[in-house]
């Protein structure tokens, strides 16, 4: 557990301007206890393509974000403030409450390469995709995941100029994924000729 609450009520800031990953659980599936981040601002302003605030590699024991603000600069594209990666067939429980996860431009707020039970409550998500559930890519894939977003705000913008940049706020690349949205506010916007959807299912 990392709890960044200060005595004055403010929160600690963990940041990098040079590394691709601000925080990384490494390739370790035997942590034994869930990883908990509380009362933190986690920033990656390196500008590196695919830069991340938190990268989990095969984590199986659980992940909790409570009052955490993650943001990653766009750089050369595809930034991923929260990346759930590695290769494991275990289902990872991810709980996010009272948090903000922001990715600018052609970027993904939350990306998962493995199966998750993802619960998000009273939070703010912003990105080209706010939840991107990937197919197998040196990974198990996201099939059989559940995503439950409640009392939260989604902002998804298509700011890209390429030929194949139609996309979605919630993107499903694997089968048998359940998504529940309850009492959310969704703002979906697009550039001329580039469609942006609330949901996009692709293979």
Query: Which of helix, strand or coil describes residue 92?
Result: strand
pLDDT at 99 over 90: yes
- pLDDT value, residue 104: 76
Question: 157-167 pLDDT, tens per residue?
Answer: 887 666 567 88
CA distance 11 to 27: 28
- Report which secondary-structure segment, H or E, holds 154: strand 153-157
pLDDT at 42 over 90: yes
- pLDDT value, residue 172: 96
Contacts of 96 (CB under 8 A, 6+ apart): 64, 65, 68, 118, 119, 120, 121, 123
CA distance 189 to 182: 21
pTM of the model: 0.93
- pLDDT value, residue 161: 61
- Report which secondary-structure segment, H or E, holds 36: strand 35-44
> Considering the chain, what is the average pLDDT of its residues?
90
Q: Any alpha helices (H) in the chain, and if so which ranges? A: none
């Amino acid at each position: 557990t990392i709890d960044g609450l200060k005595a004055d009520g403010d929160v600690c800031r963990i940041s990098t301007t040079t590394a691709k990953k601000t925080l990384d659980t490494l390739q370790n599936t035997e942590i034994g206890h869930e990883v908990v981040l509380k009362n933190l601002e986690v920033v990656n302003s390196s500008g590196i393509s695919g830069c991340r605030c938190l990268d989990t590699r095969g984590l199986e024991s659980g992940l909790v974000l409570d009052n955490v603000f993650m943001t990653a600069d766009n750089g050369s594209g595809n930034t991923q403030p929260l990346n759930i990666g590695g290769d494991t067939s275990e289902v990872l429980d991810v709980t996010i409450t009272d948090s903000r996860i922001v990715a600018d431009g052609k970027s993904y707020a939350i990306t998962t390469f493995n199966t998750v039970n993802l619960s998000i409550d009273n939070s703010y998500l912003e990105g080209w995709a706010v939840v991107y559930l990937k197919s197998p890519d040196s990974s198990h894939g996201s099939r059989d995941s559940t995503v439950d977003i409640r009392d939260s705000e989604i902002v998804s913008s298509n700011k890209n100029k390429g030929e194949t940049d139609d996309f979605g706020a919630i993107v499903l690349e694997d089968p048998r994924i359940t998504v529940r949205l309850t009492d959310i506010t969704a703002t979906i916007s697009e550039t001329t000729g580039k469609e942006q959807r609330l949901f996009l299912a692709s293979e």
